[in-house]
Amino acid sequence: EAQVTQNPRYLITVTGKKLTVTCSQNMNHEYMSWYRQDPGLGLRQIYYSMNVEVTDKGDVPEGYKVSRKEKRNFPLILESPSPNQTSLYFCASSFSGREQFFGPGTRLTVL
């Protein structure tokens, strides 16, 4: 089944404790992206990747890192999480110019 998977789905952590949210797709998409969803703000892009080893900042990259060492994986790294990073995170992937597929979301709470 074609899909985008994210892990974990739910995470509660404390300020400053490094964490990684994984994203994997099985559709051989070259494009991948991370968004955060906050009430009243919709979804905002954090980082994106056009292909392996090619990443760039989106609209709200502060406090996040990404890497794209393999085509299928695009992990989101929070090296020192803070409470303002409490949010619902979505990974998306697509072929260039085609429909984007979204993962199920990761709900992160930073205490």
Q: Where on the chain is the footprint of other proteins (CB under 8 A)?
A: 4, 31, 33, 40-45, 48, 50, 54, 56, 58-59, 90, 92, 94, 96-97, 99-100, 102-105
Distance CA 30, CA 94 (A): 7
Shortest spacing between CB 42 and other proteins, in angstroms: 4
Looking at the Cβ atoms of 55 and 85, the one nearer to other proteins is 55
Shortest spacing between CB 62 and other proteins, in angstroms: 17
Shortest spacing between CB 19 and other proteins, in angstroms: 20
For 44-104, the three-class secondary structure string (H helix, E strand, C coil) is: EEEEEEEECCEEEECCCCCCCEECCCCCCECCEEECCCCHHHCEEEEEEEECCCCCCEECC
Looking at the Cβ atoms of 53 and 56, the one nearer to other proteins is 56
